[in-house]
Amino acid sequence: MKTKFTKILVPAFLLIVTGLFAYSFFYLPTGFTGTTKKGGTGTGCDCHRDTATTSVSVFFQGPDSVAAGQTVTYKIFASHGPAVIGGFNVASFRAGLEDTITLAPVPGDTMVRKQDGELTHTQPKQYANDSVFWTFTYKASNTLGWDTLYATSNSANGNGSFEGDYWNWSPNKPIKIYQPIGITNISSIAETFELGQNYPNPFNPVTQISFSVAKAGDIKIKIFDLLGNEVVVLVDQKLSAGKYKTDFSAANFSSGAYFYSLYADGKLLSTKRMLLLK
């Protein structure tokens, strides 16, 4: 009798486990949320492995400071591990309060979706050259202060089994939300796109940057550190033709050389160097 019971119980148990595995396998490729360290410690991608591993590198690329109310673009990267396919989860946590409107997919990107205020993938994405990334938009609050981005990403082998898959959390990404000083229109006439040298230079902590817009378009001025990391999007708006000036406050930045670049409709037009001395 015991043998018959065992013969029934074991296959039933295996069927349940197989069913759970199949559900997990077929569901998770459409994305996952609630796995980051938002607000504390998170579960991570525990369906792939119980614990995070440093064999997978996960990190954000984007500005450290964003003007209040401004929308900017970030990327979340994952690299190493099996590096065949990957998925991700990005969340934000503003000044200790959860926010559900800050994050959004880039318009037209079908690989990223939003769920419960967080972002994840719609299907696994193929690695290329040992890395994979997803792009998304972030809208800063109109309230000054700090926000933080969190992410989890996995590196899977894509063989139908979670054996050999790995995942990791990203380092937290603090974002300073600052009050923009503003843009002043000097003239409505400009024949060329031009980026002026900041004045004064060297400066501490405020300097003025002048620029010309030959025709109406989406204008950006981005500031980078010596390593090429984007630290501030100083200007990001539609401007008509004309000459303009704007102030840049580096009160929260370290002394050193920085670069600033002028973009029109996504095209890089000019870059100059400035020096902050405190």
pLDDT digits (tens, 9 = 90+) for 25-75: 334 568 888 899 987 766 777 666 678 899 999 999 988 888 778 888 899
In this model, does residue 210 exceed pLDDT 70?
yes
Amino acid identity, residue 141?
S
pLDDT computed for residue 181 by the predictor: 72
Q: Can you tell me the distance from the alpha carbon of 258 to that of 198, in angstroms, rounded to the nearest whole number?
A: 11
126 CB burial (10 A radius; 0-12, 13-18, 19+)? exposed
> 21 or 182: whose pLDDT is higher?
182
In this model, does residue 20 exceed pLDDT 80?
no
Q: Can you tell me the distance from the alpha carbon of 264 to that of 97, in angstroms, rounded to the nearest whole number?
A: 35
In this model, does residue 199 exceed pLDDT 70?
yes
pLDDT computed for residue 46 by the predictor: 64
pLDDT computed for residue 98 by the predictor: 53
> 179 or 186: whose pLDDT is higher?
186
β-sheet bridge partners, residue 71: 139
End-to-end CA distance of the chain: 85
> 171 to each of 78, 118, 146, 178, 232, how far by Cα in Å?
12, 17, 16, 22, 19
Q: Which helix (H) or strand (E) holds 78?
A: strand 71-79
Q: Quick one: the chain helix, strand, coil %, rounded to 5?
A: 10, 50, 40
HEC profile of 176-245? EEECCCCEEEEECCCCCCEECCCECCCECCEEEEEEEECCCEEEEEEEECCCCCEEEEEEEEEECCEEEE
Which of 175, 86, 179 lies closest to 134 in space, CA to CA? Answer: 86
Indicate the pLDDT class of residue 10, thresholds 50, 70 and 90: very low
> Domains, the chain, ranges and CATH?
31-178 (2.60.40.4060), 183-276 (2.60.40.1930)
- Quote the tokens at residue 9: 């119980």
257 CB burial (10 A radius; 0-12, 13-18, 19+)? exposed
In this model, does residue 110 exceed pLDDT 80?
yes
> 156 or 11: whose pLDDT is higher?
156
pLDDT, mean of residues 153-167: 86
In this model, does residue 15 exceed pLDDT 50?
no
Q: Can you tell me the distance from the alpha carbon of 275 to that of 148, in angstroms, rounded to the nearest whole number?
A: 28
Non-local (6+) Cβ contacts of 126 within 8 A are: 84, 85, 132
Across 86-100, 159-173, 220-234, the highest mean pLDDT is recorded for: 220-234
Amino acid identity, residue 43?
T
> 217 to each of 39, 164, 208, 240, how far by Cα in Å?
39, 49, 22, 7
Q: Which helix (H) or strand (E) holds 3?
A: helix 2-27
DSSP type of residue 200? S
